[in-house]
Amino acid sequence: MSVSTIASDRSVCSPLPVLGRDVTVPLVTGGEVTYAALDYAASAPALQRVWDDVAAYAPYYGSVHRGAGYLSQLSTDLFENARGTVSEFLDCREDDQVVFTRSTTDSLNLLASVVPAGCEVFVFETEHHASLLPWRDAQVTYLDAPSTPRQAVETLERALAHRDPSRASGPALVCVTGASNVTGELWPVRELAATAHAHGARIVLDAAQLAPHHPVSVRDLDVDWVAFSGHKLYAPFGAGVLAGRADWLRDAEPYLAGGGASRKVTRRTDGGVDVEWHESAARHEAGSPNVIGAYAIASACKALTDAGFDTLVARERHLIRTVGEGLAEVPEVKVLSLFGDDSPRVGVISFVVEGWNSSHFAAALSAEYGIGVRDGLFCAHPLVRTLLGSDPQSQGECGAPEAAPGEKSLNAIRVSFGAGTPDEHVERFVRAVKELVSEGAKWNYRTEGGRCVPTV
């Protein structure tokens, strides 16, 4: 897919066509406006190309790995070819496996289920809960939030160097994000991988927020595994990917037991059964696979590759500048950052507004301007609480969705965008922030069902 260049002194390109770009929504103040979807970090809209590819395949939909008929064979080929496309997109090594899962969360829980006994896991407190929480059966060391990329590497170095001597020769795994889902900041993945390997540890990259914005090369970054979700990569239908080294995956019991994961099942004379499991990626893909989800991911991978990440990154930097410079003009706005405001980031920016509860502010953006953002703690509670400190925001008109009854509000606003975002959406967002801060909301709001909503 080609992208045309628009006239601009910054030489940015036009956005990739996505579904919903012409959807209009009502405003509480009257009339309708084209919806500005600025919550890509939660779920990006589907690329039009992905939807068209899936629609073209849909009449040929059939069972995968289970039928002799033409549609089953075609679907099986499509599913396996999708695996190859993802492997190429990630620049995997020749002997790496690509396992299709439901999401990044599912991928990391799968990996957590196959780590060898006695494995030590090292994870920064700044991670998304999908990276922070799955390691319940391992010895976990939670690392403090770093204030610079260099400090992140130094923190990991110290932690690995001071492993318990009784465990130091055993397996170890580092889990780290490529780009924060809260601040958008890029992490020093290559340096962290080198540090992990220098101490005999392996590393898994949570690329949920990185892969939609930047190229991810397993070889170049030298990571052992990478996980990401289709719904953040402009592909609907609830599929994800875990790609990387095969040995831990091959040596462990299947993530789910059932058809597809088993190669051979026989009855024993004592009444039980013996099972021979697949050694391929199918070992952890029990049940009928999500062929449409896998195909959608592959289609998105091709679309982003064809568009060219150099072009996409350049345009996204233009959008980031537009938002960053606009917010900087509002003294009441504080942008959240670990590494500093000038740190490289993807199109994810979180902030708070002095005198406003973040839920109230986000509700006003939606109801009065047709702008969809996210408010809360973004499934990264320790990180957001660290960034916000102990000083709660004013309770304002509405409470935070995560706040228990009587609990003080502690939440932020997140705006996120990507390859499908028109300039007008981020420009409208900046104008709306300035108007809300200077003039206040035009409507009254209340808390209902844990959400801040307009009063009717």
Q: Which of 208, 206, 236 is nearest to 221 (CA)?
A: 206
CB distance 388 to 425 below 8 Å: no
CA atoms 93, 135, 229, 159: torsion sign: negative
275 forms beta bridges with 265
Residues 176, 200: Cα–Cα separation, whole Å: 16
Side chain identity, residue 424: E
| Residue pointed to by tokens 């706040």 | 403
Residue burial 408-444, b: 16+ Cβ < 10 Å; e: rest: ebbbbbbbbbbbbbbbebbebbbebbbebbeeebebe
User: What does the block give as tokens for 32?
Assistant: 């309708």
Tokens for 434, please give them: 């300035």
What lies within 8 Å, CB to CB, of 385 at 6+ separation is 377, 410
Distance CA 246, CA 99 (A): 10
Reply yes or no on whether 398 is catalytic. Answer: no
Query: Which residue is listed with tokens 């059932």?
Result: 258
439 φ/ψ angles, rounded to the nearest 5 degrees: -115, -15
**Six-digit token pair at 130?**
């999908």
Identify the active-site residue in 175, 301, 379, 452: 379
How many C-beta atoms lie closer than 10 Å to residue 366's C-beta? Answer: 21
DSSP 282: G
Nearest CA-CA partner of 294 in 242, 224, 225: 242
Cα 209–211–216 angle (5° rounding)? 130
CA-based Rg of the chain, rounded to a whole angstrom?
23
Measured between alpha carbons, how far is 288 from 258 in angstroms, rounded to an integer? Answer: 10
- Locate 221 and state its tokens: 């970054």
Strands 273-277 and 225-229: unpaired
The residues that are catalytic are: 379
